[in-house]
Chain A
Amino acid sequence: MSDHELRVSKIRNGTVIDHVSGGHALNVLSILGIDGSEGLGVSVVMNVPSDRLGLKDVVKVEDRELSQSEVDVISLIAPEATINIIRDFEVVQKNRVDRPESVIGLLSCPNRNCITNDGEPVETKFAVVEDGVRCAYCGTIIRDSLAGHIDPE
């Protein structure tokens, strides 16, 4: 996006998550556990034109640098996302997201009879498999609409 098209101003320090599939910005924030209560400056741009994606979202989080392991989980819903770490208005690091081996504590298991839905003191854990994720406890595979399984807690 060129400067004259900017819909949100540049940030001084923090993280810009670019090339998020259109419409998924709020899911990205949910994955990162950011809901505004942290007091961080957060900007969201949704459904802007993108050569690569058709429509893309952009998320800017001020004064917080996200680690690779934090952002890798974004790859499950936004495999094309790029992560830019910003210091003093400059991009000092630019990374693509990688598929993680597992996802812990983020998704809820759709199998209501899974032990992770039984009020036990255990976090959900999903192994990332070929074309989806698989519950490490009950073996249920989720292939579609992962974002719909993000645990709001």
Chain B
Amino acid sequence: MRQDHLISATQLSRADIEAVLDRAAEIDADPAAWGDAHGRAVLGLCFFEPSTRTKMSFDTAIKRLGGTTTDMGSVDSSSVKKGESLADTVRVVEGYADALVLRHPSEGAAKMAAEFVDVPVINAGDGAGQHPSQTLLDLYTIRENVGLDDLSIGIMGDLKYGRTVHSLAEALTNFDVRQHFISPESLRLPRGVRFDLHQSGAQVREHTELEGVLPDLDVLYVTRIQRERFPDENEYEKVAGEYQIDTETLEAAADDLAVMHPLPRVDEIDPAVDGTDHATYFEQAHNGVPVRMALLDYLLSEEVDQ
């Protein structure tokens, strides 16, 4: 993978993705063999928004490569509270770390940060923009379960603000995948993502209901519809209910359908689904560690080579 930073899924070629996923599979097969791979590396964690899975799995990943982390902590306890700009914060932290992981509420934050520092920047979520490291673990999970070509995937829920959706949809254009987007009209994919999909010649269809397309799917990727996206509670309750799945919904699905979710879920997947063979979301979350180890290995090795 010849990248200095990981900012957007649009920068990833098929070869880039396969290189990381292959490395992740090697790590998964024998994690102990990687324990000294980056023995002196320090990963800077700059999370301007709360995070559980992403932050903890990056933390675990660098430690399993033999490295350690330096953590900015919460915004409330950092100099951001005193009005420091993001540009200044990352220029300070790059002096303490070999790579930065950045989560920020504004779209484009990681791209801007990368322009101010020389160490690799990994976008761990920029507002409603992108979340490309999540995409790598999503793709790894899909490849492990159903393969990555000749595939029908349904992506359902909040497609407008869902950054994991934007990155996944754009990365999937590298593969022979039919993408079905299922959402209420008000939460369709944003214009910029549709532009990218159109430019890449992706096979895309948009739906407002899951029912018609469910039997054809190999993967159903569910995302949370957030209450605050709707002007009033009644409208939210009405819409969100149509995009929740339970064991009854899945009776119409193929036996080997993999149900995925970037988590956290609230009520969009009924807990009864957890016990079925469809449930793939916890495996997906666990894959965050080997995939992020592989990603860090590539980015930190690049750094040493320079």
Which residue of chain B has the shortest Cβ distance to A118 in the bound complex? B106
Q: Which residues of B contact A134 (CB under 8 A)?
A: 192, 195
Contact (A114, B191) CB under 8 Å given A121-B85, A122-B87: no
Q: Are B107 and A120 in contact (CB under 8 A)?
A: no
Q: Are B107 and A111 in contact (CB under 8 A)?
A: yes
Q: How far is the CA of A141 from the CA of B108 in the complex (A)?
A: 14
Q: How far is the CA of A129 from the CA of B192 in the complex (A)?
A: 11
Q: How far is the CA of A7 from the CA of B192 in the complex (A)?
A: 45
Q: How far is the CA of A55 from the CA of B87 in the complex (A)?
A: 46
Q: B210 interface residue, CB < 8 Å from A?
A: no
Candidates B111, B128, B129, B195; contact of A129 at CB < 8 Å: B195
Q: Are B107 and A113 in contact (CB under 8 A)?
A: yes
- Closest CB in chain A relative to B165 CB, distance in Å: 14
Q: Are B191 and A113 in contact (CB under 8 A)?
A: no
Size category, B interface = 20 to 34
- Closest CB in chain B relative to A128 CB, distance in Å: 13
Q: How far is the CA of A111 from the CA of B126 in the complex (A)?
A: 13
Candidates B86, B115, B127, B195; contact of A113 at CB < 8 Å: B127
Residues 105 to 140 of chain A near chain B (Cβ within 8 Å): 111, 113-122, 129, 134-140
Contact (A135, B108) CB under 8 Å given A129-B195, A141-B191: yes
Q: B112 interface residue, CB < 8 Å from A?
A: yes
Q: B220 interface residue, CB < 8 Å from A?
A: no
Number of A residues contacting the other chain (C-beta, 8 Å)? 20
- What total count of A-B pairs have CB within 8 Å? 62
Q: Which residues of B contact A114 (CB under 8 A)?
A: 106-108
Query: 1/0 per position for B74-99, CB-CB distance to A under 8 A?
Result: 00000000000111000000000000
- Closest CB in chain A relative to B188 CB, distance in Å: 14
Q: Are B86 and A139 in contact (CB under 8 A)?
A: no
Q: How far is the CA of A134 from the CA of B108 in the complex (A)?
A: 12
Q: Which residues of B contact A136 (CB under 8 A)?
A: 108, 111
Q: B50 interface residue, CB < 8 Å from A?
A: no
16 contacts between A and B (CB under 8 A): A113-B105, A113-B127, A114-B108, A115-B106, A115-B109, A115-B111, A116-B112, A120-B86, A121-B85, A122-B115, A137-B107, A137-B108, A137-B112, A138-B127, A138-B129, A139-B193
Q: With a 10 A CB-CB cut-off, give which of B105, B107, B109, B191 has the most chain A CB atoms.
A: B107
Q: With a 10 A CB-CB cut-off, give which of A114, A117, A129, A141 has the most chain B CB atoms.
A: A114
Q: Are B192 and A118 in contact (CB under 8 A)?
A: no
Q: How far is the CA of A122 from the CA of B106 in the complex (A)?
A: 14
Q: Are B107 and A139 in contact (CB under 8 A)?
A: yes
Q: How far is the CA of A113 from the CA of B85 in the complex (A)?
A: 15
